[in-house]
Amino acid sequence: MDKLTVARTAKEARLRQRAVVVWFYGLSGAGKSTLALGLDERLTSAGFFTTLLDGDAMRQGLSRGLGFSDADRAENLRRAAETARLFLQNGVITLGAFISPLRVHRALVREIIGPADLIEVYVSASFATCAQRDTKGLYARAASGSVRQFTGKDSGFEVPGPEESPLAIDSERQSVAACLDQLWARVQPCITL
């Protein structure tokens, strides 16, 4: 057991929890941030110690200067995963909400975090539903051409492949509360010491 591992175990004991990374992915508007925030609140209320990373926070800080080309998106995700890993190593339950459109993106996250410490959550809703919700007004801007390389329009989103086995959450047919119950049932047993 290396020094880092000892430090993590000690920190987990101090926080009275086992750390994991919960990685939410899916189309913009599918409900990733809503569910991550909701889970964060439930965890915090139950006494767990968490952090939440999302695309906006990364873009304003660690990923400042990166654009939306394929290479820059991959680098943004790499940095997000490395950041999640740092919090994990410090015993903190870490929630990440990132579109992560391609299978190679999810593979990169898996490689950096390590599968034993990672819970992948695929939040799904149809493109039409996401466009109708349009939480950030991005679909409207994409339709008018003012947002380029928008996932689902100019650049593709790959649904989870057979080699992936995320927790699949259908945010179109389920209420937020039902989605959160599904999440809680999956996450809670993994974080209890």
| Residues involved in catalysis | 100
Contact flag: residue 51 with its own copies (CB under 8 A): yes
Q: Report the nearest approach of its own copies to the CB of residue 146 (Å).
A: 28
Stretch that binds its own copies, among 20-28, 59-67, 143-151, 175-183 (CB under 8 A): 59-67
Q: Which is nearer to its own copies, 61 or 161 (CB)?
A: 61
Helices 70-89 and 3-15, packing angle to 10 deg:
70
State the DSSP string of 113-180: H-GGGEEEEEEE--HHHHHHH-TTSHHHHHHTT-S-S-BTTTB--PPP-TT--PEEEETTTS-HHHHH
Contact flag: residue 62 with its own copies (CB under 8 A): yes
Neighbours of 18 (CB within 10 A): 18
Stretch that binds its own copies, among 9-17, 20-28, 100-108, 175-183 (CB under 8 A): 9-17
Q: 167-170 and 21-25 as β-strands: parallel, antiparallel, unpaired?
A: unpaired
Judged by the rule CB under 8 A, the positions of this chain that interact with its own copies are 10-11, 14-15, 44, 49, 51, 53, 57, 61-62, 64, 79, 82-83, 85-87, 90, 92
